Homo-oligomer: A and B are copies of this chain.
Amino acid sequence: MENFAQRPEGPAGRPASIGRMPTVKRDTYTPDSLLSVAVRVFNERGYDGTSMEHLSKAAGISKSSIYHHVRGKEELLRRGISRALDGLFAVLEEVPAREGRAVERLEHVTRRTVEVLMAELPYVTLLLRVRGNTETELWAMSRRREFDQRVAELVKQAAAEGDLRSDVDARLATRLLFGMINSIAEWYRPDRVAHNGAAGGDSSASGGSNTSAEVAEAVVRTAFAGLRTS
Query: Which residues from chain B contact A152 at a C-beta distance below 8 Å?
Result: 199-201
Q: Which of B149, B182, B224, B225 contacts A201 (CB 8 A)?
A: B149
List the 5 shortest-distance A-B pairs measured between CB atoms, nearest first: A179-B183, A226-B226, A152-B200, A169-B207, A148-B200
Query: Which residues from chain B contact A219 at a C-beta distance below 8 Å?
Result: 176
Chain B residue with the shortest CB-CB distance to A219:
B176
Chain B residue with the shortest CB-CB distance to A208:
B169
Question: In the complex, what distance in Å separates the CA atom of A220 from the CA atom of B85?
Answer: 31
Which residues A164-212 have CB closer than 8 A to chain B? Answer: 165, 167-184, 186-187, 196-202, 206-207, 209
> Are A179 and B177 touching (Cβ within 8 A)?
no
Query: Which residues from chain B contact A179 at a C-beta distance below 8 Å?
Result: 179-184, 186, 198-199
Query: Which residues from chain B contact A44 at a C-beta distance below 8 Å?
Result: 131
Q: Which of A14-22, A45-53, A66-74, A87-95 lines the interface with chain B?
A: A45-53
> Are A199 and B174 touching (Cβ within 8 A)?
yes
Task: Report the copy number of this chain in the oligomer.
Answer: 2
| A151 interface residue (CB < 8 Å to B) | yes
What number of A residues sit within 8 Å (CB to CB) of B? 58
A-B contacts, 28 listed (Cβ < 8 Å): A45-B131, A45-B133, A46-B46, A46-B48, A49-B131, A129-B129, A148-B198, A151-B199, A152-B199, A152-B200, A167-B221, A168-B218, A169-B206, A169-B207, A169-B218, A172-B209, A173-B222, A175-B184, A175-B198, A176-B222, A179-B180, A179-B181, A179-B183, A179-B184, A179-B198, A182-B183, A225-B225, A225-B227
> Are B178 and A198 touching (Cβ within 8 A)?
yes
Q: Is the interface of A mostly helix, strand, loop or mixed?
A: helix
Which of A153, A179, A209, A215 has the most chain B CB atoms closer than 10 A to its own CB? A179
Question: In the complex, what distance in Å separates the CA atom of A221 from the CA atom of B170?
Answer: 14
> Are B206 and A171 touching (Cβ within 8 A)?
yes
Chain B residue with the shortest CB-CB distance to A134:
B49
Which residues A28-85 have CB closer than 8 A to chain B? Answer: 44-46, 48-49
Question: In the complex, what distance in Å separates the CA atom of A201 from the CA atom of B152?
Answer: 6
